[in-house]
Structure 1
Amino acid sequence: MMPPALIFNCHYNGLSIIQELGRHDVPVYALDTFRSVGTASRYAQYWPCPDPLCDEEAFIHFLIERGCDFDHKPVLFPTNDQWAAAIAKHKSELERWYIPCVADGSVVDLLISKDRFYRWAMKRGYLVPRLYSFEEVLNADGNIFPLIAKPIARRSSNLCADHPDICRLLDSHRMTVIHDTSEFHQFITRHASYLDYFLFQEYIPGMADRMYTVGIYANRQHEVLGLFTGRKVRGYPPDIGNCVVGQGERVPDEIIVCVKEMVRDLGYTGIAEFEFKKDLSTGKFWLIEINPRSWSWIGITPACGVSLPWIAYADLTGAEAIQYTESPIEDGEVVYLKVLEDFSNCMYLYRKNGYPDYHRGISLWLKDLKGKKRIFAEFSKDDPSVALYVLSSLGKSYLLSTIRSAMKSE
């Protein structure tokens, strides 16, 4: 009997891990606060659980209560910041019953706290955008602009316990480009009560399609055993949005060297995503952030010859001897997409919401995918219940939208 795996937050990120481990005959449990897409997979049993974003103590108590239910220690896979932070914080306690696929608490806390991470990285000479204090921006001349304001930490455990409104605010201001002094004063006036939650940073020009991912798994000795490289092709919105279409793509060798050095420098263990942005004007690769857990399109990695979910599971449980693996595919050879979302964006939403350059007709949209190996997030032959769930949710959403529109017109 293979040790089970518990996946936390089962949106497409979690779904990809559920399916990949299920295909390796690993017993999988999908844990979430509601019936998200991954809970519909035939490869997992759904367990509703408390949300550490609101009640970290209840979430950890939930895990401890069920720790004795298994014959073998399950592997814990957090797929969002608040889950990673909660498990990392209680890692030593949870290791009595589980094998957490997460770095130590101090490391996760450093990476989630963006202001602390940028100072750490700048001190060590890593190429990250410059961080500005509030006073530096307030007293600066116009040469400092444009810059960006973004949350110090969008999703840390217990964030909503005392501030139920803060998560919505931070999610809606993932990155605000500030072009001049006037816009800066407008921003600080509008968000005067929440300025402690934001940082100000040098702006690296370019849209989301300039974002590159280096995804890794590092073992307990902080050695990288699996490494994937790719690029975000389309997001929504196209400047700062989550990945809707991503493809395998190479990055310069020095970026891979930098990632491995940072893994050792941090003392990192587990799955992580290093996000780089290629400067539109200079071509430099700037490190934007490190996500201390899996990322939204990790589902591309098995098709690229470097299945990070399986590499992590096999190494942590001893199910298989793991040798270093790096994705060998050519640029654009493998494409991952949320096909229904991308179709809707390209046919309608990009143009409607002010991004006409990203609009695609059906023939051009299909041409973009021609001749490539495509991984459809919603559709897989061996897991049809996921497609049924997505189509049902889409139908319900359309029906509710139609009802609201009809009520407004009365």
Structure 2
Amino acid sequence: MTIDARKTLLPTKLPGVILLGGSYGSLAAARSFGRHGIPVAFFSTQHTAAQYSRYIQHHVAWQGPDQSNALEFFLEQSLKLGFANWLLLPSSDHEVQFVTQNYDALAAHFALVTMPWAALEPLNDKAQLCSLAERLGIDFPKVYWDGDAHTTSAEDIRYPVVLKPSSTEKINPLTKAKAWRADSIAEFEPKFTAATQYMGEHGFVVQELIPGDGSAQFSYAGLWDHGIELCSLTARRSRQFPAEFGTSPFVETVELPEVGAQARRLLEAVHYHGLVEVEFKLDQRDNSLKLLDVNTRIWAWIGLGEAAGFDFPTLAALLAKSEMPETHTAKYGPSWRHPVPNTLSLLQSLVRSGRLGYAGRRSIFARSVSSIFAADDLKPALAEVPVHLLRKIKRLLPR
């Protein structure tokens, strides 16, 4: 038995919702709230298809959390537009830091379903996350460098490795790329130097690269109330584009007890509160799950939750007002597809191997929740390709 998200009533005391950043996850959340008659505001730093949704009543363009007066601007705009006491949900990493680092100031004006930065940082900072996982006995990719406890020399590293920013607070080539791969010391040394320049010697980690494709990538998604799990599901991120460090354009709900168990150990340890996605990869060399990342916010495929029995945005709103219904187990089987990158992922597979594979065929023919298309909200789907083309053209133009 599962919750019927369509019959889940949002709290009458919720005047509206502010979605801060993001794109496809924010679009899914906007549709969830809008279909319940809840007003939605969307703050974004770039042009995105989500802003064209009929369910977003207010779109505010801003420079983002990095501007020196970000908090002052956000409060001024929000209160001027009448957003006081609205639920505030961040949907990208920069916005998570903005909300949680200004937790007290924002909690005075908005409903929050998250934790202060001091409590959340161990999950968002890669080096701290690895230390926490080690204390809990949760496997993670071997760390060669974190600027502190691990400082392996380039000559002693076993390649290939991945250089990852510890956090995405800074905007630079490394944080934009999410990670850099190095297959040899010749590739590693210039990338290590660049990472140090961009992030500082304590601002990034160097880890072993776990081999494997999307069939080995898993996620746990859930909603927590101060250390207590309210609802959850597990999924396989069956495809990825770009292949190594991209996003997942095809996600399938699959019951994975070990993924759930390891994620719960991690979240219980920090007394977690709010929405969360925890990412793992199966290391087929020793058949062990390795912790990769934690997203303490709305995630891209959050719209899949409703098909599996959990309308996560709606449930987060109920949690904000302490009106959570009884929850049950997830319905496994539904999938989620992001059409454009999934098509590019299929083309990538054909170029590399000359075949689509079983997961590739499933991503074409499976009846899936769409990241962008909705019969009652067509404009985002019509705007997606033009928006991406416009963004690429702007990047090519001289500044």
Instruction: From the superposition, tell whether residues 34 and 203 of structure 1 become closer, same or farther in structure 2 (CA, over 3 Å).
Output: closer
Map of 2:291 onto structure 1: 287
Query: Deviation at 1:301?
Result: 0.8
Q: Tell me the C-alpha RMSD between the 2 structures.
A: 2.9
**Residue type at the aligned position of 1:137:** T
Alignment of 1:359-378 (within 5 A): 359=356, 368-370=363-365, 372-378=366-372
Give, in whole Å, the separation in 2 of the partners of 1:240 and 1:131: 18
Give, in whole Å, the separation in 2 of the partners of 1:247 and 1:74: 32
Contact kept in structure 2, 1:209 and 1:238, CA below 8 Å: no
Contact kept in structure 2, 1:225 and 1:322, CA below 8 Å: no
Give, in whole Å, the separation in 2 of the partners of 1:365 and 1:203: 23
Map of 2:339 onto structure 1: 339
Map of 1:138 onto structure 2: 153
Given the alignment of the two structures, is residue 149 of structure 1 paired with residue 157 of structure 2, yes or no?
Answer: no
Given the alignment of the two structures, is residue 384 of structure 1 paired with residue 389 of structure 2, yes or no?
Answer: no
Instruction: From the superposition, tell whether residues 282 and 292 of structure 1 become closer, same or farther in structure 2 (CA, over 3 Å).
Output: same
Give, in whole Å, the separation in 2 of the partners of 1:65 and 1:224: 34
Flag the structure with more relative contact order, 1 or 2, with Cα contacts below 8 A and sequence separation at least 6.
2
Contact kept in structure 1, 2:119 and 2:270, CA below 8 Å: yes
Alignment of 1:252-291 (within 5 A): 253-291=257-295
Alignment of 1:11-410 (within 5 A): 11-55=23-67, 57-63=69-75, 66-67=78-79, 70=82, 73-133=85-145, 136-138=151-153, 141=156, 144-153=158-167, 155-156=168-169, 159=170, 166-172=171-177, 174-189=178-193, 193-194=197-198, 196=201, 197-219=203-225, 221-251=226-256, 253-318=257-322, 320-329=323-332, 333-347=333-347, 349-351=348-350, 355-357=352-354, 359=356, 368-370=363-365, 372-393=366-387
Map of 2:4 onto structure 1: none
Give, in whole Å, the separation in 1 of the partners of 2:345 and 2:83: 46
Query: Deviation at 1:61?
Result: 3.7
Range with greater deviation from structure 2 (237-246 or 256-265): 256-265
Query: Deviation at 1:245?
Result: 1.1
Give, in whole Å, the separation in 2 of the partners of 1:113 and 1:341: 28
**Residue type at the aligned position of 1:151:** P
SS at match of 1:44: coil
Give, in whole Å, the separation in 2 of the partners of 1:334 and 1:51: 37
Query: Deviation at 1:217?
Result: 0.9
**Residue type at the aligned position of 1:127:** D
1:216-268: CA deviation from partner (whole Å, max 9, x where unpaired): 1112x3211120211111111122210111111121x2332332232221121
Give, in whole Å, the separation in 2 of the partners of 1:338 and 1:255: 24
Instruction: From the superposition, tell whether residues 86 and 259 of structure 1 become closer, same or farther in structure 2 (CA, over 3 Å).
Output: same
Give, in whole Å, the separation in 2 of the partners of 1:358 and 1:209: 15
Contact kept in structure 2, 1:56 and 1:86, CA below 8 Å: no
Instruction: From the superposition, tell whether residues 106 and 299 of structure 1 become closer, same or farther in structure 2 (CA, over 3 Å).
Output: same
Give, in whole Å, the separation in 2 of the partners of 1:215 and 1:202: 25
Query: Deviation at 1:120?
Result: 2.3
**Residue type at the aligned position of 1:230:** A
**Residue type at the aligned position of 1:311:** L
TM-score (norm 2): 0.84
> In proportion to residue count, which structure has more helix?
1
Contact kept in structure 2, 1:17 and 1:299, CA below 8 Å: yes
Give, in whole Å, the separation in 2 of the partners of 1:386 and 1:180: 43
Give, in whole Å, the separation in 1 of the partners of 2:391 and 2:361: 25
**Residue type at the aligned position of 1:99:** A
Instruction: From the superposition, tell whether residues 207 and 392 of structure 1 become closer, same or farther in structure 2 (CA, over 3 Å).
Output: same
SS at match of 1:184: helix
**Residue type at the aligned position of 2:163:** A
Query: Deviation at 1:136?
Result: 4.1
1:149-197: CA deviation from partner (whole Å, max 9, x where unpaired): 21121x22xx3xxxxxx5233322x233333444433433565634624
Query: Deviation at 1:312?
Result: 0.7
Instruction: From the superposition, tell whether residues 344 and 288 of structure 1 become closer, same or farther in structure 2 (CA, over 3 Å).
Output: closer
Instruction: From the superposition, tell whether residues 96 and 170 of structure 1 become closer, same or farther in structure 2 (CA, over 3 Å).
Output: closer
Contact kept in structure 2, 1:10 and 1:37, CA below 8 Å: no
Give, in whole Å, the separation in 2 of the partners of 1:121 and 1:365: 33
Q: State the number of aligned residues.
A: 378
SS at match of 1:171: helix
Query: Deviation at 1:299?
Result: 1.3
Map of 1:162 onto structure 2: none
Contact kept in structure 2, 1:207 and 1:240, CA below 8 Å: no
Range with greater deviation from structure 2 (130-139 or 116-125): 130-139
Range with greater deviation from structure 2 (121-130 or 266-275): 121-130
**Residue type at the aligned position of 1:235:** Q
Query: Deviation at 1:92?
Result: 1.5
Give, in whole Å, the separation in 1 of the partners of 2:239 and 2:38: 32
Give, in whole Å, the separation in 1 of the partners of 2:239 and 2:270: 31
Give, in whole Å, the separation in 2 of the partners of 1:138 and 1:62: 44
**Residue type at the aligned position of 1:90:** N
